[in-house]
Structure 1
Amino acid sequence: LERRRAEGKLSNLQLKLLQSPLSGAIGIGHTRWATHGRPNEINAHPHATERLAVVHNGIIENFRELKAELQAHGIRFETETDTEVVAQAVSHAMAQGLGPVAAVAATLPRLRGAFALGFLFAGESDLLIGARHGAPLAIGYGAGETYLGSDALALAPFTDAITYLEEGDWAILTREGAEIRDIAGAVVTRPRQIIAAQAYRVDKGNHRHFMAKEIHEQPEVVGRTLAHYVDLAESRVALPEALPFDFARLSRLTITACGTAYYAGLVAKYWFEKLARLPVEIDVASEARYREAPLAADGLTLVISQSGETADTLASLRYAKGQGQPTLAIVNVATSTIAREASAVLPTLAGPEIGVASTKAFSCQLTVLLCLAIAAGRARGTLSLAEEARLVDALITVPGLMAEAVKQEGEIERLAREIAKARDVLYLGRGTAYPMALEGALKLKEISYIHAEGYAAGELKHGPIALIDESVPVIVIAPHDAIF
């Protein structure tokens, strides 16, 4: 087994490969943010022993106990990561006489957490093993070649024939195909599907970063999403499929999501309660999944996720299903686990979002949520046809307004250069602008590493005002609406 790894951007790895090329007909690779240990080359993937190499998405929750057990057997660790524990555990099983497949089979039940794994073995030029537990994993099929990847997007340059592993599945791959086994070890069949051609169109175009490109794509993708949910000729919302519940009969809507998707849900709470007079409860999925909140049979759980694979959101979806509630998912990946498990799906048509910080997917989530709130208002008799037409006509103007906003990039950059000098920034908003203030603060933290907080405008006087001095910029989101 030979490895080439590098810290930082892929261009660093590319340079290393030019200087020291790899040869072979089988391999694994991974780009990954550090979750355990410092982000350096030693902790970079793949992790390897003399017998195997492994790549890993997710977190092994019980890695400390497993590491201590392996160290007691005299095994030395080179890294600070949870992933190396998996590599060493499978290697230890092979040292006891097990073959690669049996060693993985013996190790997987001992791992706790949400993870996807890919294994490559020394001396095995026609064998890869993949395992899925709480994180997505897909198999791609070619002519005399088989691929393993985190999703269809990763495999799109190589094949359009995909099988998604289900929860607890693991697979033995050779060039001729794949044998899939379930969590009990029984051989199972999973459906093969053809992915959409749009997954191939992933490049930065004329932009320096994917995030910049995706910001500029917002007018196009919001327009595309609107066309999917709105009858432009009639100025009314026309959902693409019938929903397996009646908005008029719902007593409550429960929204759950994480990060940016959660803030989209917070905006939607205002819309559903105002337009449809439907009570809304919303919680971050990482809390909702553990609260075990009572869910009424005449309620609806709405989950929001760009990838459709967010582990906490998926757990919340499964909890709601276990409570007998219908579930509705708003996702950007129609083949994702959340999409497959929800009672109904409303896709956002944002296209692949490569940037770590969500931009166009957030805008499309808001688009779908507002269309859904309008549909709920009509079903519950709280919106007239004329009011629906007024809202839809306003919605139709949004892509054009977005295009105008993007043209202000030069002015925005000048402001950004001033804000970049700050150590702390406050965002303020009222009504639907309050969740937008939270989202703005999240984006600034994520992208610039500047400390930022979002507050409801009326709460500034209840403590946060003490933080403000001449060095703290305050960004107020105050659109011309019923409040301003």
Structure 2
Amino acid sequence: MCGIVGAVAQRNIVPVLIEGLRRLEYRGYDSCGVAVLAEKTLRRARSVSRVAHLAAEAQTTHLTGDIGIAHTRWATHGAPVTDNAHPIFSRDTIALVHNGIIENYEALREALQAQGYEFISQTDTEVIAHLIHSLYNGDLFSAVRAAVRQLHGAFAIAVFSRDEPHYIVGARQGSPLVVGVGDNEHFLASDALALAGSTERFIFLEEGDVVQLSRTTARIADHTGAIVEREMRTVTAYGSAVELGPYRHFMQKEIFEQPRAIADTLPVAEAFTPAHFGAQAEQVFEGIDSLLILACGTSYYAGLTAKYWFESMVALPTQVEIASEYRYRDSVPNPNSLVVVISQSGETADTLAALKHAQALGHTRTLAICNVATSAMVRQTALAFLTHAGTEIGVASTKAFTTQLVALFMLAVTLGKLRGRIAAHTEEIYLKQLRHLPVALNHVLALEPQIIAWADQFASKENALFLGRGLHYPIALEGALKLKEISYIHAEAYPAGELKHGPLALVTRAMPVVTVAPNDALLEKLKSNMQEVRARGGELYVFADADTRIVNGEGLHVIRLPEHYGWLSPILHVIPLQLLAYHTACARGTDVDKPRNLAKSVTVE
């Protein structure tokens, strides 16, 4: 959600800025822009189209400069029109880009209007630009530090001034911002991925930091105003991550990368040990009596799946909360709970805020499950487990979800061992199953041709139901989410036993009913629910294990998965649901990797 790129160098940095925006397109946006300082004049190009259109405009207008900022915007305050696109100027002196939301922008806007400032956009961003201008007395670093003290909300900004042609200033509060260190040049970005190819050296700013960059220096002040040093890290994992290769879309590529991603996520070990979750894990895990899982979207469904593991395998009461709701309700904290936060990016604003709220309530036992080692979430928890899904470009999460499930299953087995619930021979079975999982996933991926045939039928539909029971109900939820995200077909998921309590009223031949049917203890109950659909003329599309004895018939279409996988079955069963959503979206001609109105990394509430 929104992207920032900035640079100060001894060369024309417009190509660097444009390439940075291109690498951030996966986050979602509806306008984009770039601004530079050229011959003591602020110049910019903005577009409500794609970055490719912006690049063409910058080339046509000969936009060049050795200092500049760029932005992809996902509209919050104000429609996606050119006047609202960033960079925003203040009196042709200050140029600024901004991620996040300023909660007190109305009061600031009124005060600035009283000072004679004219507002051209409907954005809260313009308030920041004018506020900095009003405080500017020749020292941009000081003006930004003074301005951010007046801002309430979550934000990251990058700004430069016509009158200080050698500096860019950035600031972050609740929204990520990273400094890239080059040879006689410096960069700013909301995601290190944006700077792949320009540098591998990064400084990850902390909450409240303000940074002043020149070609040769990076000067950082913390939230108290003290000048501080931040660690510089080398990150080399971004090289080929954004290359599409032979695939039609990044989502398709990432679906097929799941066997490798899971293999990479599994530690090279002969046992499940607390050390996989951090050096202090055994101490943190000691004495816990429950779990509290905080997450959003797909990660929330990973938590719902894991609830079955923790309660059935480990006998630990487990509460799974939507992060955006948890912090706004009264809850009863339990200091003996292990708080698990789940996020692909580790920068999800709602989940970070929920984590801070939990910590403020006295929760000290915290664990992050995340795909980004340098993220704020990993830095703010006592323990962390890093999934190794690699960069995920498609907005609809796939490999991040399945690697999260692997991490949560490993946590369940580890806690089960510590609590004496899982014996050594059972641990060995689970370890073998996990190691065989990539092979099993490849067998499921081989079903793609059959799923494409189903997708051609789904493409003409406008509604769909998804059914699952027990451990696979959250997988039905995830399947419905994937379909609605990228194909724009309205889809809902229910526990199959709930059909007769309302959803059955929707069932007609025009409503496909997708059913997740593993060969588990609830299979016979599920078959009864399927008969309820058939009796009402519904059309069933069933993903069944090979030995379920569910056969094709009138109104009943079956694709068989190669094998039942016990507790790990959800990881296998979600793959065909991802493929169904993907190929249905392709058949409908939607923008699969960048679905409308959605962003990859949700960095504002």
Q: Normalized against structure 1, the TM-score is what?
A: 0.93
Tell me if structure 1 keeps the 8 A contact 2:288–2:338.
yes
For 2:372, the equivalent position in structure 1 comes to 333
C-alpha distance in 2 between matches for 1:473 and 1:51? 58
The yes-or-no answer on 1:64 pairing with 2:106 is: yes
Amino acid aligned to 2:467: L
- 2:120 is matched with 78
SS of the equivalent of 2:71 reads coil
Deviation of the 1:92 alpha carbon: 3.3
User: Does residue 284 of the first structure (1) align with residue 322 of the second (2)?
Assistant: yes
Query: Are residues 1:296 and 2:331 paired?
Result: no
Report the alpha carbon displacement of residue 181 of structure 1 after superposing the two structures with TM: 0.8
Q: How does 1:344-363 map to 2 (within 5 A)?
A: 344-363=383-402
Q: Take 2:138 and 2:166, find their aligned partners in 1: how far apart are those partners?
A: 18
Q: Summarize deviations over 1:420-457 as a string: whole Å, max 9, x none.
A: 32222221111121111211222222212222222122
Displacement of 1:260: 1.0
Query: What is the aligned partner in structure 2 of residue 237 from structure 1?
Result: 272
Give the direction of change, closer, same or farther, for the CA distance of 1:459–1:27 in structure 2 (3 Å limit): same
**Offset at 1:168?**
0.8
> Aligned equivalents of 1:81 and 1:448: distance in 2?
30
Amino acid at match of 2:45: R
Question: What pairs up with 1:7-22 in 2 under 5 angstroms?
Answer: 7-22=48-63
In structure 2, the partner of 1:167 is 207
Unaligned runs of 5+ in 1: none
2:477 is aligned with 1:438: yes
2-side partners of 1:355 and 1:289: how far apart?
Answer: 28
Q: 1:69 to 1:460 in 2, by over 3 A?
A: farther
- Listed as ranges, the matches of 1:357-396 within 5 Å are 357-396=396-435
* 2:77 corresponds to 1:36: yes
Q: Please give the per-residue CA displacement for 1:341-372, whole angstroms capped at 9, x wherever unaligned.
A: 11111100111112222111111100111111
2:409 is aligned with what amino acid?
L
- Residues 447 and 26 (structure 1), Cα distance of their counterparts in 2 relative to 1, 3 Å cut: same
Alignment partner, residue 223 of structure 1? 263
**1:93 lines up with 2:131 in the alignment:** no
1:5 alignment partner, SS class:
strand
Change (3 A) 1:414 1:8: farther
Report the AA paired with residue 11 of structure 1: A
- Contact 1:152–1:199 (8 Å) recurs in 2: no
Amino acid across the alignment from 1:269: K
Which of residues 149, 156, 164 is equivalent to 1:116?
156
Encode CA deviations 1:276-301: one digit per residue, 9 max, x unaligned: 11110110111122235232222211
Structure 1 vs Structure 2 CA RMSD: 2.0
Q: Does 1:23 align with 2:64?
A: yes
* Cα contact 1:422–1:472 (8 A) shared by 2: yes
- Count residues in correspondence: 477
Deviation of the 1:478 alpha carbon: 1.8
- Rate the CA distance shift 1:430–1:8 in 2: closer, same or farther, 3 A: farther
Q: Per-residue displacement from partner, 1:311-355 (whole Å, max 9, x unpaired)? A: 222222223333043111111111111111111111001111122
Q: Is the 8 A contact 1:441 1:452 kept in 2?
A: yes
- The 1-side partners of 2:159 and 2:134 are apart by 14
The gaps in structure 2 that reach 5 residues or longer are 1-41, 524-605
Equivalent position amino acid for 1:451 in 2: H
Q: 1:138 — aligned with what? A: 178
Contact 1:320–1:326 (Cα < 8 Å) also in 2: no
CA contact (8 A) 1:157 1:200 kept: no
Change (3 A) 1:244 1:164: farther
Q: Tell me the TM-score normalized by structure 2.
A: 0.75
Q: Is the Cα–Cα contact under 8 Å of residues 153 and 200 in structure 1 kept in the other structure?
A: no
Secondary structure, counterpart of 1:386 in structure 2: helix
SS of 2:97's equivalent in the other structure is strand
* Displacement after TM superposition at 1:24 (Å): 0.9
C-alpha spacing 1:202/1:467, structure 2 compared with 1 (3 Å): same
Structure with more relative contact order (C-alpha pairs < 8 Å, separation 6 or more)? 2
Q: 425, 429, 447: which is aligned to 2:464? A: 425
Aligned counterparts of 1:155 and 1:335: Cα–Cα separation in 2 = 15
- How far is 1:200 from its partner? 5.5
Secondary structure of 2:166's match?
coil
Does the aligned pair in 1 maintain the 2:89–2:95 contact within 8 Å?
yes
Give the direction of change, closer, same or farther, for the CA distance of 1:88–1:211 in structure 2 (3 Å limit).
farther
Q: Report the CA distance shift for 1:145/1:57 in structure 2 as closer, same or farther (over 3 A).
A: same
Residue in 1 that maps onto 2:198: 158
Q: Is this contact kept in 1: 2:196–2:238, CA < 8 A?
A: no
Task: Give, in whole Å, the separation in 2 of the partners of 1:370 and 1:382.
Answer: 14
In 2, the alpha carbon distance for the partners of 1:69 and 1:449 equals: 43
User: How far off its partner does 1:130 sit?
Assistant: 0.4
Structure 2 distance, partners of 1:422, 1:88, is 49
Q: Contact between 2:241 and 2:390, CA under 8 Å: does it hold in 1?
A: no
State the alpha-carbon separation in 1 of the partners of residues 128 and 450 from structure 2: 50
Mean alpha-carbon deviation: is it higher for 448-457 or for 426-435? 448-457
What is residue 103 of structure 1 aligned with on the other side?
143
C-alpha contact 1:211 1:354 (8 A) present in aligned 2: yes
Letter in 2 for 1:159: T
Letter in 1 for 2:317: P
Counterpart for residue 511 of structure 2: 472
8 Å CA contact 1:295, 1:325 repeated in 2: no
Per-residue CA deviations over 1:135-189 (Å, capped at 9, x if unaligned) read 1111111121111111322223211221111111111111111111112222122
CA distance in 2 between counterparts of 1:86 and 1:171 reads 16
Shift of 1:190: 1.5
Name the SS of the counterpart of 2:172 in structure 1: strand
Q: Distance in 2 between matches of 1:397 and 1:8?
A: 45
8 Å CA contact retained: 2:387, 2:407: yes
Contact 2:140 2:160 in 1 (8 A): no
Q: SS of the residue aligned with 1:249?
A: coil
Structure 2: distance between partners of 1:272 and 1:93: 54
Counterpart of 2:218, as a letter, is A
Contact 1:55/1:117 (8 A) holds in 2 = yes
Partner of 2:602: none
Which deviates more from structure 2 when the two are superposed, residues 271-280 or residues 106-115? 106-115
Verify the 8 A CA contact 1:248 1:376 in the aligned structure 2: no
| Residues 248 and 380, structure 1, Cα contact 8 Å, conserved in 2 | no
Report the CA distance shift for 1:278/1:6 in structure 2 as closer, same or farther (over 3 A).
same
In the aligned structure 1, how far is the partner of 2:253 from the partner of 2:99?
A: 26
Report the AA paired with residue 342 of structure 2.
Answer: I
Structure 2: how far apart are the matches of 1:213 and 1:3?
35
